[in-house]
Amino acid sequence: MSGEEPGGWRVFVDSTRCIGSGICAGAAPGHFVLVDGLSRPLKELIDPADEVLDAAESCPMEAIIVSDVGGGRIAPEP
């Protein structure tokens, strides 16, 4: 997406859905870490990054939500 401002994406992990598979940490190690068996984003606001989209799309529980700062959902695709 062109024209995005730095910090233009918000990353959220729904801890009630996360099963700690670690796929996100493997796909985007600079953005996710497992804490007590559950995924956590390293930062809530990030610059747009394809690996974060890959992690969100790969999550078996669709626990990772990527949105723009205005709240529009980017991934996973519905």
What CATH number is attached to the domain comprising 50? 3.30.70.20
pLDDT of residue 42: 97
Per the domain annotation, does 1 fall within a domain? no
Per the domain annotation, does 2 fall within a domain? no
Per the domain annotation, does 3 fall within a domain? no
Confidence tier at 68 by pLDDT (50, 70, 90):
very high
Whether the per-residue pLDDT at 6 is higher than 80: the answer is no
Whether the per-residue pLDDT at 2 is higher than 90: the answer is no
Per the domain annotation, does 38 fall within a domain? yes
Per the domain annotation, does 4 fall within a domain? no
Number of domains in the chain: 1
**By residue range, what is the domain housing residue 36?**
9-75
The one-letter code for the residue type at 13 is V
Per the domain annotation, does 65 fall within a domain? yes
Confidence tier at 4 by pLDDT (50, 70, 90):
very low
Can you say whether residue 11 is alpha, beta or left, with left for phi > 0 and alpha for psi between -120 and 50 degrees?
beta
Q: What value does the mean pLDDT take over residues 18-43?
A: 97
